Structure 1
C-alpha cells in the first residue's frame, strides 16, 4: 500500500513523510535536520558584507548611504531588539544632511535576522524594485544600507528623508525549511510611533522555492501606487491586485 504522504512531499519543504527507524527517524532525516538547523544558525549569526553590497550599488550608479544602529554585534542584536529600531547619532546627522525637499520613496536594506537572505537575494530584488519605481516616475532617496536593523527603523528613516513611503528589505527569521527568506515592508507617511498594523508585508521572497523577485517587485509597485493614491497603508489598504498583472 502506497503512503500518500510521500506524494505530498513534492509540494512542500515541510518535514513530512520522513520515515522511521524503530522509535526514531531515519539517519538521513536526522542529518538533514541537523544541516538545516546549522544553516539557520549561520544565517542569524554571520555578519553582512555591507562593503561588497555598497560596491555593487556604486557600479550601478545607484546613490546610497551607509548607516548604523547602536548594535555592537550579532549577539547584541539578538539580545537588544530595541536597539535595532534606532539609528546611532552619526547616522542621524548624516540623514539630516541629505538634500530636501524630500522623496517619494525611502528604501532601506538590512540583513535583519538572516544575513544569508540579503547576501543571496538582496541585490537582484533591489534592482527590480528600483526598476518598477523608476517606471512609476517616483523619486527614490539614496538607498540606506543598515546592518542589524529591525523593521520599525524604516519609520524614522523615512521621516528624516521626508519620504511619502518607506520600504525596508530585510532578512526574515530563518526556519528549519528556509534560512534565506527576504521580507519587504512598506509604510505610507512614515513617522515615529507607527505600528505594524500600518505596514504592508511581502514575505518568503526566495526564488525558486518562494516568491520571485519580479513578482515581489510588481506587488510592491501596486501596493505603493495604491498607498499614494489613497493615503493609507497596512491593514486599511486592501490588496486587490488583479492576478493578470502579476507576471
Structure 2
C-alpha cells in the first residue's frame, strides 16, 4: 500500500477544493456533511492560536471528540499538539449528533469567540452558562455540519457500526474499477481491507494514487440493489467480478468526491 502522503495529514485535517452539500435525500440521524468555504481546513491548534484571523470564517476540522459538555456541545483537540487547548464545538445544525467513541469527526462551521447569551438568543439552545464559564470569550466553532470521519480500514473492519450513516472519509485511490467505482487504500490498520466507493454521478475522473475526500452514506454491497438504485453501466463481467469480491461487504455510496491536499501547517 502506498505511503506517500505521510499518513494523510496525520489523520487530522483535509483540504477539499470544492464546496458542496450532501443530497438532502440522504435521510440519517446525523447532520449533513458539507465542504467548507474559504479558508477551508485547519487544525484545532490554528483555531486556538490564530483565532483573530479566522473569526467569522468557515473552517473544517477533523478530530476525536475530547469531552461531551451537553447534547449540543463538545470539545475537540489535536493530540499531537501538547500545548493545544480544547476547542468548544456548538452544534447549530438543528440535527442531533451522537458522539462516537474512538472515531474522529469532521466539523464544519464558523469560528467565533463564545458568548453563551448570544448563542442562546440566536440558536435557542438553552445552554447553561454555568457549564461554559471556562469557555466564555474563548474560540468556538458553531458547527453547521458534523459527520463521522473514520479511516477506510475502520469502516471495513467494523462496517455495521457505520451502515446508514453519513461519513466523511479521506484516503488514497488504490484501484480504479471503472468510471463510477474505485477503492480507497487502507494504510493505517494492519490486516484491514480497502474500501469500495461508488460514485454514481462523477463530475471528474479520479487518478490512481490521488488523495481524495469522499462524503457519502455507507451500505452493504448488493449488486441487485446497487443497480436498482443507481444508473450504472456495469457489464455482466464487471458485475460478477464485483459481486465475487465485495458481496455483503461495505460500499461507500458517494455524494461528493474531491481532491485532498496536505495543508502547510500540518506538514
TM-score computed with the length of structure 2 as normaliser: 0.25
Query: Is the strand fraction higher in 1 or 2?
Result: 2
Query: Is the helix fraction higher in 1 or 2?
Result: 1
Greater relative contact order structure (CA < 8 Å, 6+ sep): 2
- Greater Cα radius of gyration, structure 1 or 2: 1
